[in-house]
Structures are given as structure tokens and as C-alpha cells.
């Protein structure tokens, strides 16, 4: 495997279940994904399909009573003296090892930057504190690195910004400051959860460009979570489409947009104006995502799928199958079509 395809994080059958009085809420239910160095994995799906809880699982910040199962293997490239990956699921969520990884090797930016900053400390103090925690003990060096990173994310007068409080910055600048803080410790993985939804279109484009530039310059892997397929097209190398806590289609971005297979992916693509090349009528996906508790067996998309076959699609759970090299789909109809073609050939 070349450097281009170096996998730095692997999720194997990851589940996040919330044990509630009413039953078990399966927010994430058997996710397998690979994150590659210097590449962006886009995770897309409607509200409630488990995108955010997946990222919480990666950082081990799932709130109680959520329980994470499966394997989340972080390959640290010999950082801890071994080539063996560390399984984040096995770590104590409050222990030192995960605290070092969080903010150090895996950093996160999200929709509302005010959540990332304390309102009572300056931007500079907060960035310096993060650098002192993960990168150096030297306060002067930490200050220099802080100014540097603010410059890198395109903030004017970085030295002055270091002395400002979060509320003194505009929304776009605050977003840049949060990205600066996340990147200040050279993470190998950056998780971006709807980072631009709250911004106006121009600023949104600038921030997306910034994330792309930084990814290319520093070889960071990015996990980009959004419900917006337009943003996915612009940002991703690979894409995982999620539905009801499961990945239903997983492939490279070109294949996803030009040769989608899963009925849910096709429906999502038909429902957005920016990606459909011809001027055809937009269709919305009928119905809503079911609540992920006490679900019947079978395909999660059964109740909304135009191609569903009674007695087949709702008979047993559907596996994710590699239908072509690197193209994974969770659909029995796609699978049977493929088998028929193979038989004919």
C-alpha cells in the first residue's frame, strides 16, 4: 500500500448503543470505515442517522448512557515505540492516553465555535494552553507557534488577535480561530462536524478552502460530516453514506456521484439541485428516518424504498458488500442484480 493510501484509523463493526428505559437506541450500529492520511472521508446522511455520534465515538466523548463497542484502531506510526495500533474503544474515556490523543492526534471542529472556546480567556491563552498540553513546554515557543497558526488560517493581525476574546471576533474569524486551535498540535486526523452550516455562503466557501489547503499542506486526514452533498462533492476523496446508524454506501467521491448504487444514495442525489447535471425535477425522499429504537429486522431503508421487496428486504439484516473494487453497498437488490450479471457473463 503506497503512502497515498496509508490507513491511519480503522473502524471495525463500531456500535454506539444508548441503553434507555424505553429500550436500546442504536445510534450507530456496526460501522466499518477507513481513514487515510492526507485524504478526506465525507460522512453524509439525513439528520439522526448517526454521523455525530460516530465522531463522538472516535474521540470517546459519547455521553452516558451511551456504550461504544467494536474496534477503533489508531495507527500511530511508531509514536509510542510500536507499530501496533491502539484500540480507542479499549481506553478509559477519562484516562491520560485518550486525553493525549484527543486534541493531540485527533482534533475536532464543529458548527458552533463558541463551544470550543471559553468566553473568559483570550484566543491566544486558549491556543497556547493547547500547545503547552500537547506540543512543547516552552511558553515563548508556544506563543510563537500560536501566532504562526493564526497566520496560517488567514487571520489578519495575528498578534493582536491573540489578545482578543472570542466574542470580539466575527463568525468567520471565530471559525478560523477554532480551526487554528484544532490544528495547533498538528493532529493527524481532523474531524469537522458541519463546520460551516452557520456561516454565510462566502465565508463558508473560504473556510472549506482553508480546510482543503491545510489538508494538502500538512497531510492531515479529514473526516467531514455534513448533510450537504454539495459540500461532500467539494471536500471528499471518499464518501460514506449513513442511514439509521449504518453505512449504506461507501466509495470514492467520483463513483458516488456518477455511479451510485444504493437507493438511498440515489434518492439523496435526486433531492439536491447542485449536483444533478441535467435539469430534471427534484424529488424529495418520502417519509422520515425511523427512530433507531426497537426497529424491525431487515434493511433500515425498507419503509421508504421504492425498490423494496416484501419478504426479501425485510426478512433479515443486510450486509455491506463490496460490489466492485472499493465500492461497498448495503442493498440486497443491488447484490442480486450483480449476481445475475455475473451469471449472464
Ligand X SMILES: Nc1ncnc2c1ncn2[C@@H]1O[C@H](COP(=O)(O)OP(=O)(O)OP(=O)(O)O)[C@@H](O)[C@H]1O
Q: What Å distances lie between residue 149 and 8, 100, 163, 189, 205, CA to CA?
A: 24, 20, 15, 17, 20
Minimum gap (Å) between residue 67 Cβ and ligand X: 11
**Assigned C-alpha cell, 79:** 509514536
Q: What Å distances lie between residue 253 and 41, 44, 220, 239, 321, CA to CA?
A: 9, 12, 18, 6, 18
User: How large is the C-alpha radius of gyration of the chain?
Assistant: 21
Minimum gap (Å) between residue 195 Cβ and ligand X: 13
Contact 241, 44 (CB under 8 A): yes
Helix, strand and coil in the chain, % to nearest 5: 35, 25, 40
Which residues of this chain interact with ligand X, rule CB under 6 A? 18, 25, 27, 45, 47-53, 63, 66, 227, 292
Residue with smaller CB distance to ligand X, 27 or 173: 27
Minimum gap (Å) between residue 245 Cβ and ligand X: 7
Minimum gap (Å) between residue 238 Cβ and ligand X: 18
Q: Angle at CA 226, nearest 5°, toward 220 and 230? A: 95
Helix (H) / strand (E) element for 333: namely helix 332-344
Residue with smaller CB distance to ligand X, 23 or 95: 23
Minimum gap (Å) between residue 4 Cβ and ligand X: 29
- Dihedral pair phi/psi, residue 76, rounded to 5°: -100, 10
**Assigned C-alpha cell, 94:** 477519562
Minimum gap (Å) between residue 310 Cβ and ligand X: 26
Residue holding cell 484566543? 123
Contact 98, 91 (CB under 8 A): yes
Rounded-to-integer distance, Cα 17 and Cα 35, Å: 23
Pairing of strands 189-193, 106-110: parallel
Helix (H) / strand (E) element for 145: namely helix 139-152
Residues in the chain: 345
Minimum gap (Å) between residue 291 Cβ and ligand X: 6
Minimum gap (Å) between residue 335 Cβ and ligand X: 25
Rounded-to-integer distance, Cα 283 and Cα 41, Å: 26
Amino acid at each position: 500500500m503506497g503512502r497515498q493510501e496509508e490507513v491511519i484509523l480503522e473502524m471495525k463493526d463500531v456500535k454506539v448503543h444508548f441503553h434507555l428505559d424505553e429500550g436500546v437506541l442504536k445510534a450507530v450500529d456496526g460501522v466499518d470505515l477507513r481513514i487515510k492520511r492526507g485524504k478526506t472521508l465525507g460522512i453524509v446522511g439525513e439528520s439522526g442517522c448517526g454521523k455525530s455520534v460516530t465522531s463522538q465515538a472516535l474521540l470517546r466523548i459519547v455521553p452516558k448512557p451511551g456504550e461504544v463497542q467494536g474496534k477503533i484502531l489508531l495507527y500511530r506510526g511508531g509514536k509510542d515505540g510500536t507499530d501496533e495500533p491502539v484500540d480507542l474503544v479499549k481506553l478509559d474515556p477519562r484516562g491520560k492516553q485518550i486525553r493525549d490523543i484527543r486534541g493531540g492526534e485527533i482534533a475536532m471542529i464543529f458548527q458552533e465555535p463558541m463551544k470550543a472556546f471559553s468566553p473568559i480567556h483570550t484566543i491566544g491563552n486558549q491556543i497556547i494552553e493547547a500547545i503547552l498540553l500537547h506540543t512543547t513546554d516552552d511558553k515563548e515557543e508556544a506563543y510563537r507557534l500560536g501566532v504562526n497558526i493564526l497566520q496560517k488560517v488567514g487571520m489578519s493581525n495575528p498578534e493582536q488577535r491573540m489578545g482578543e476574546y472570542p466574542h470580539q471576533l466575527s463568525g468567520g474569524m471565530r471559525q478560523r480561530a477554532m480551526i487554528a486551535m484544532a490544528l495547533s498540535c498538528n493532529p493527524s486526523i481532523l474531524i469537522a462536524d458541519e463546520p460551516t452550516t452557520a456561516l454565510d455562503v462566502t465565508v463558508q466557501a473560504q473556510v472549506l478552502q482553508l480546510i482543503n489547503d491545510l489538508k494538502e499542506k500538512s497531510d492531515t486526514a479529514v473526516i467531514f460530516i455534513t448533510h450537504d452533498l454539495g459540500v461532500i462533492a467539494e471536500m471528499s476523496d471518499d464518501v460514506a453514506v449513513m442511514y439509521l446508524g449504518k453505512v449504506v454506501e461507501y466509495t470514492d467521491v467520483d463513483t458516488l456521484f456518477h455511479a451510485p448504487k444504493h437507493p438511498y444514495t440515489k434518492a439523496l442525489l435526486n433531492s439536491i439541485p447542485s449536483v444533478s447535471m441535467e435539469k430534471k425535477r427534484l424529488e424529495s425522499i418520502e417519509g422520515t428516518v425511523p427512530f433507531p429504537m426497537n426497529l424491525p429486522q431487515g434493511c433500515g431503508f425498507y419503509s421508504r424504498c421504492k425498490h423494496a421487496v416484501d419478504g426479501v428486504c425485510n426478512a433479515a439484516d443486510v450486509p455491506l458488500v463490496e460490489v466492485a473494487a472499493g465500492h461497498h453497498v448495503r442493498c440486497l437488490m443491488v447484490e442480486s442484480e450483480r449476481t445475475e450479471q455475473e451469471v449472464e457473463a
